Structure 1
Amino acid sequence: MGAAAPLRDVHRGLVPPSGGPARVALLSGHYLYYHYGCDGLDDRGWGCGYRTLQTLCSWPEGRPTRVPTLDAVQAALEDMGDKPPGFCGSRSWIGCVEASLCLDHFEGPVGRLCHVPRGAGLQGVLEKLYSHFAGGGGPVMVGGDADARSKALLGVCLEPGGQAYVLILDPHYWGTPKSPNELQAGGWVGWREVSTAFDSHSFYNLCLTSRNPQKQPPTLD
């Protein structure tokens, strides 16, 4: 599969899942959708964290200016001493902690880490996510241990009765999408009910992105 220009803001046009009154907050700004093989590199099975990081780096302008290649990410982590010699060129996964380091290294948006203990799912951080998106925040990277499939959150929908949904962008797509509609129809971006979208046996780390003209080191909540 050859390289193709990534699509922009692929969630646009999706209707919030709640038919009744609900609080809905979406990311502000623009992003590009990076996924398996989008640059011609076959990274199926190991590259989802890198692709989610690339999506984070494309925000808030929705441009590829500061989006590093997978090789550049690995080289940076090796140079920083976060990974051992020989990491560059490997098929080793990365998660939210590495993503936060790379956001700072490549002068992307500020990345703030949040840890969700095993068994809690995302129920305990829904208000934090709502405040993040309502306050102008960008995409949120999510990754865990039992559930190691990296993904990005683009918004939340909270119903008065307690039911909650998150808008998920999945980087595991393989192919060349022609339009956002194709991705939406295939479920690669869409609203998911929180209790079924996340594994209660897994812990999760989140990396929340925000605009900041002054570089700041990532912090851990």
Structure 2
Amino acid sequence: MTSVLESKLETINFPNPDMRVPFNALPSNDSPEENLSKSELFKTFVQVEVRGWINDADFDRFDPVKSLSGAIALRNKELGIYLTKKNTQIKSPLKEQSTLKQVMNVSTESVLKFDFLLKANTENRQVRVNESKSTVLSQPILVKILLLQSYKISEILSHLEHFIQNQGKFLSRNIKSLQSKNLHNSKIEYAGFFTVHNDLPICLPVLRHEDKTINEAWLVKICKNMNMPDVLTARDEEEFTFHVPRNPHLDVLINVHQILKMPDLPIIRYAKLRYGYYHYGQQGMNDTGWGCAYRSLQTCHSWFYLNNKTDKKPPTHLEIQKTLVRLGDKEKSFVNSREWIGSFEVQMMLNELVGCDSKIINVSSGSEIAEKVPELIEHFETNGTPIMIGGGVLAHTIVGVAYDEISENCSFLILDPHYTGPHVANNIKEKGVYWKGPDFWKADSYYNLCLPLS
């Protein structure tokens, strides 16, 4: 399986800003790899991520005719892993021959993350004193890849080194191009998006400059290098501005909270990984006035789908109704009706469809929800799933909280399923997703919170 995937990655012919295996790009043959579902894929592979910075003084070291072999190091502080070409250091209980599967059993993260380090270049080093003002550039580097769980820790660097050098070469060439155009106020960030060709996200280095035509030209160049000239539509480019990709398989925006500024509170916790934003009017369903909890359920379910814990897409309203009837929770007349559902139905559906249990928190007044913030923080830290909350005749989804332990001030990051506007980031900001204080919850209503356990 390794040779199949590696050969496919080599033929994609782009500068490897993201090395996640394109799920739809697996070759069509009789090998078992072709039939892997997403959940099976992530049972076979481990997601590995490398992040770091390249200073302008090191750009030339990524020249295509040069080699950085031996100069690249990877570090994971949590697990005490330090990797170079000649040395492997690992903290107990892991060993040099431990597999990635064993590593992930020890790690608290779902992705194996490394810091990228570049050893100082001492070749022909000279020290000069220059008192003139100068600008020092540094650019981020981000590589993501799927590696087989059977790989050993000592093998990680050998699999990643080539891709890191490829991306460094790409950045080096393009940074020099920016400098020649005197675009010193530009910066490069990484943004992820989906295409019809990929079931997994592609992460691209995106130029940020006040002149949008320059940004667009950069994207065109990137896509040409990827042999995917039609990869970005105008809608995708608009969403790139806010780092909000749209998943083509669900046709919803992903992690829309990223378009908002963070509140000025010391503790902020978000739903982990990815979720899709569902609201009134999507999928051709006019559910205004009665479908808010259905939409919150779809958002919660999307978390399990997008994070490869299930192959089942979020259910439609009709599928929800038929399932609740089959489970004995509703009468047959419930099917094709406009009857509401609540947190208990959401709990029941998630258990039936994705096999997860849920924790239910009851409060007799909206004024008591602020007291539950420490519990919500713990939930986001441990489980990381979106939270469905229902009270009175309304349902919402909580995807983050902010908190000050001393003052007990708090804010809630809310997805509003009652939003009925265009499914575009610019329109959704502060209308479909927003931060609200504890006064947002009505004191004269009781609330039930459904916290799915991952």
For normalisation by structure 1, the TM-score amounts to 0.85
Q: Among residues 144, 150, 160, which one is paired with 2:395 in the alignment?
A: 150
1:68 Cα deviation from its structure 2 partner: 0.5
1:120 Cα deviation from its structure 2 partner: 4.1
Distance in 2 of aligned mates of 1:108 and 1:17: 34
2:283 counterpart SS class? coil
Say which structure, 1 or 2, has more relative contact order (CA 8 Å, 6+ apart): 1
1:109 Cα deviation from its structure 2 partner: 4.4
Distance in 1 of aligned mates of 2:416 and 2:437: 15
- Structure 2 unaligned segments of length 5 or more: list them: 1-249
Greater helix content: 2
Distance in 2 of aligned mates of 1:5 and 1:97: 27
Deviations 1:28-56 (A, max 9, x none): 01111111111001010000010000000
Are residues 1:95 and 2:342 paired?
Answer: yes
Distance in 1 of aligned mates of 2:385 and 2:336: 29
**2:305–2:314 Cα contact (<8 Å) kept:** no
1:42 counterpart residue number: 286
2:181 counterpart residue number: none
1:183 counterpart residue number: 428
Q: Among residues 317, 324, 331, which one is paired with 1:84 in the alignment?
A: 331
Are residues 1:163 and 2:409 paired?
Answer: yes
Distance in 2 of aligned mates of 1:129 and 1:54: 20
Distance in 1 of aligned mates of 2:353 and 2:329: 15
Distance in 1 of aligned mates of 2:306 and 2:410: 27
Q: Among residues 312, 332, 357, which one is paired with 1:110 in the alignment?
A: 357
**1:182–1:171: structure 2 CA closer, same or farther, 3 Å change rule?**
same
1:15 Cα deviation from its structure 2 partner: 2.0
**1:167–1:191 Cα contact (<8 Å) kept:** yes
1:108 Cα deviation from its structure 2 partner: 5.6
1:14 counterpart residue number: 260
Q: Which moved more, 1:34-43 or 1:57-66?
A: 57-66
1:87 Cα deviation from its structure 2 partner: 0.4
Deviations 1:81-117 (A, max 9, x none): 1111210111000010000000011126432211112
For normalisation by structure 2, the TM-score amounts to 0.42
1:122 counterpart residue number: 369
2:372 counterpart SS class? helix
Are residues 1:5 and 2:251 paired?
Answer: yes
Distance in 2 of aligned mates of 1:202 and 1:48: 17
Distance in 1 of aligned mates of 2:427 and 2:401: 22
1:50 counterpart SS class? helix
1:144 Cα deviation from its structure 2 partner: 1.4
1:62 Cα deviation from its structure 2 partner: 2.8
**2:366–2:447 Cα contact (<8 Å) kept:** no
Distance in 1 of aligned mates of 2:366 and 2:256: 31
1:12 counterpart SS class? helix
1:191 Cα deviation from its structure 2 partner: 0.8
1:141 Cα deviation from its structure 2 partner: 0.3
Larger radius of gyration: 2
Equivalent residue pairs, number? 201
1:177 Cα deviation from its structure 2 partner: 1.7
Distance in 2 of aligned mates of 1:109 and 1:183: 30
**2:366–2:441 Cα contact (<8 Å) kept:** no
Are residues 1:206 and 2:449 paired?
Answer: yes
Distance in 2 of aligned mates of 1:60 and 1:28: 11
Distance in 2 of aligned mates of 1:102 and 1:94: 11
1:119 Cα deviation from its structure 2 partner: 5.6
